[in-house]
Chains A and B, each alone.
Chain A
Amino acid sequence: MALAVETNSQEFQGLFTLYMVIGLVVAALVLGTIVYAVIRYRRRDGMTPREARGMKPLEAAWVLLVGAVVVVLIVSTFRTEDRVDAVSADPAQTVRVLAFQWGWRFTYPGAGITSTGSSQRPPTLVVPAGEPVRFELSSRDVIHSFWIPELRFKRDAFPNRVTTFDMVFDPGVTTTARCAEFCGLDHDQMDFQVISMEPADFKRWLQSHERSAARSRGGA
Chain B
Amino acid sequence: MTTIAPPMPRAGPVEWLLATDHKRTAARMATAAFAFFIASGALALLMRSELAQPGLQIVSTDTYNQLFTMHGSGMIYLVVTPLALAVGLYFVPLQIGAADVVAPRLTAFGFWLYLGGGLTMYSGFLTSTGAGKAGWTAFYPLSGEQASPGPGMDMWIIGVALAVAGMTLVAATILLTLLRQRAPGMDLTRLSPFSWSMFFTTTMTVTSFPVLVVAMGLLLADRNLGPVFDTPGGPATYQNLFWFYGHPVVYVMFFPFLGVVADIVATFSRRRLFGYPLLIISLFAFTGLSMSVWAHHMFATGQVNNQYFSLTSTALAIPAGVEYFDVIATMIGGAILLRTPMLFALGFLALFLIGGLTGIVVGSPPIDYHVHDSYFVVAHFHYTLFGGSLMGAFAAAYYWFPKVTGAMLREWLGKVQFGLLFVGVNLTFFPMFLLGYDGMPRRVADYSPSAGFTGDNRLATIGAFVIALGIAVFIANLVVSLRSRRPAGDDPWEGQTLEWATSSPPPRLNFNGLPPIRSYAPLLDERERAREER
Contacts and interface: CB of A to CB of B under 8 A. Distances in A.
Interface stretch (A124-132, A158-166, A195-203, A208-216): A158-166
B353 A66 contact: no
Given A26-B357, A74-B314, A81 B142 contact: no
B272 A66 contact: no
Given A69-B317, A70-B315, A186-B61, A50 B439 contact: no
A80 B240 CA distance: 25
A33 B366 CA distance: 32
Given A41-B333, A49-B271, A63-B318, A34 B358 contact: no
B204 to A, nearest CB: 22
Q: Interface residues of B toward A: which range?
A: 35 or more
A84 interface: yes
A11 B367 CA distance: 9
Nearest to A175: B439
B335 A47 contact: yes
Interface of A: 11-12, 15-16, 19-20, 23, 26-27, 30-31, 33-34, 37-38, 40-44, 47-50, 52-53, 55-56, 59, 62-63, 66-67, 69-70, 73-74, 77-78, 80-81, 84-85, 101, 141-143, 145, 147, 149-150, 152-156, 158-161, 163, 165, 176, 178-188, 191
Nearest to B234: A160
Contacts of B357: 23, 26-27
Interface in B419-459: 438-439, 441-448, 451
A160 to B, nearest CB: 4
B302 interface: yes
B366 A11 contact: yes
A147 B310 CA distance: 21
A159 B231 CA distance: 9
B230 to A, nearest CB: 9
B370 A154 contact: yes
Given A42-B338, A160-B231, A37 B332 contact: yes
B65 interface: yes
A150 B439 CA distance: 8
B317 A66 contact: yes
B353 A27 contact: yes
A20 B65 CA distance: 33
Contacts of B270: 43, 49
B322 A63 contact: yes
28 contacts: A12-B369, A19-B367, A26-B357, A30-B328, A34-B328, A37-B328, A37-B334, A38-B331, A59-B275, A59-B278, A59-B322, A63-B318, A66-B321, A70-B315, A81-B365, A81-B366, A84-B366, A85-B306, A145-B373, A149-B374, A149-B439, A158-B236, A176-B451, A180-B442, A182-B65, A182-B142, A182-B373, A191-B448
A104 to B, nearest CB: 15
Contacts of B373: 145, 147, 154, 180-182
A109 to B, nearest CB: 21
Given A33-B328, A55-B329, A81-B306, A152 B335 contact: no
A163 B134 CA distance: 23
Contacts of A178: 439, 441
Given A182-B443, A185-B65, A41 B307 contact: no
Contacts of B253: none
Contacts of B311: 74
Contact of A23 (B231, B333, B350, B360): B360
B507 interface: no
B245 to A, nearest CB: 19
Given A74-B311, A150-B439, 6 more contacts: A23-B357, A30-B353, A48-B335, A62-B321, A141-B141, A182-B443
Contacts of A153: 369-370
Contact of A62 (B325, B335, B358): B325
A50 to B, nearest CB: 4
Interface of B: 61-62, 65, 134-135, 139, 141-142, 146-148, 231-233, 235-236, 269-272, 274-275, 278, 300-303, 306-307, 310-311, 314-315, 317-318, 321-322, 324-326, 328-329, 331-338, 346, 349-350, 353-354, 357-358, 360-361, 364-367, 369-370, 372-374, 438-439, 441-448, 451
B308 to A, nearest CB: 11
A43 B336 contact: yes
Given A74-B311, A188-B447, A52 B235 contact: no
A186 B65 CA distance: 10
Contacts of B326: 59
B496 to A, nearest CB: 12
B274 A55 contact: yes
Contact of B366 (A42, A66, A80, A185): A80
Contact of A49 (B233, B333, B354, B447): B333
A43 B270 CA distance: 9
A19 B360 contact: yes
Nearest to B369: A153
Contacts of B370: 12, 16, 149, 152-154
A16 B433 CA distance: 13
Contacts of B372: 145, 154, 180
B366 A19 contact: no
Contacts of A56: 275
Contacts of B325: 59, 62-63
A78 B365 CA distance: 9
A70 B331 CA distance: 26
Nearest to B332: A37
B142 A142 contact: yes
A169 B135 CA distance: 32
A42 B336 contact: yes
Per CB-CB distance, the 10 closest pairs between chain A and chain B, nearest first, are A149-B439, A188-B444, A50-B333, A152-B370, A182-B443, A180-B373, A37-B331, A66-B321, A43-B335, A160-B232
Nearest to A137: B302
Given A15-B366, A52-B271, A77-B366, A179 B353 contact: no
Contacts of A81: 306-307, 310, 364-366
Contact of A53 (B61, B333, B445, B446): B333
Contacts of B445: 188
B307 A34 contact: no
B358 to A, nearest CB: 7
A159 B328 contact: no
A179 B366 CA distance: 18
Contacts of B135: 182
Contacts of A52: 271-272, 274, 333
Given A23-B360, A149-B438, A154-B369, A188 B335 contact: no
A72 to B, nearest CB: 10
Which of A142, A186, A187, A191 has the most C-beta atoms of chain B within 10 angstroms of its own C-beta? A142
